[in-house]
Amino acid sequence: MSARWLKIALAVSVALNLFAVAAAVTTFVTRARVEAKVEAQNSPPRRTTFRQVLDQMNPAVRVRVRSTLHAAAEAAHPDFEQARAARREAVALSSQPDFDAAKVQALLDTSRAAEMRGRARLEAGAVQLLATLGPDDRKALAQMLSRRGGRNSRPASPPTSAPARAPAPVQ
């Protein structure tokens, strides 16, 4: 075989190898995308929002649920306000030149305790409400006791009574 034919064979071999590598990489990337799409299609649907659950209930029960949860939210409102105020004060004190760690920690403890009191009131109101409902309504509303989800999975309450934003606990 002459040198020219060897060069041509080498070029063809390199081209085939590059094509094979490109095909393998494309297959790998495409397969990952396809698997992600299939997994997304097979995943359970998102939970319904609290409003959607209420809309599916008997109107008389719906009114009672809303008024009971609203009353629980109103009862918890001062606790959440106290929690937010204490947290704001702790943040303000943290940025001062003369930092008092003990006072900041006390304010954060106060904030956390107030938020827990507010949560306890909301949860107690929810449990009392659930005790008065039938099994189907109770099953539909049980998700409000879940700590997962966003605002839509929580009991209906005025926007001003939402708890102060804090990092979620690690479980």
User: Which of 57, 77, 27 lies closest to 138 in space, CA to CA?
Assistant: 57
Q: How far apart are CA 58 and CA 55, in angstroms?
A: 8
Q: What is the pLDDT at residue 168?
A: 42
Residue 166 CA, distance from chain mean position: 13
Q: What is the pLDDT at residue 147?
A: 58
User: Which of 60, 64, 83, 61 lies closest to 72 in space, CA to CA?
Assistant: 64
Q: Supply φ then ψ for residue 96, to 5 degrees.
A: -75, 155
What is the Cα Rg of the chain in Å? Answer: 29
Q: What is the pLDDT at residue 44?
A: 67
Q: What is the mean pLDDT of each run of 10 residues along the chain (171 residues)?
A: 87 93 92 85 70 83 89 94 95 90 94 94 90 86 65 39 40 38
Q: What is the pLDDT at residue 154?
A: 41
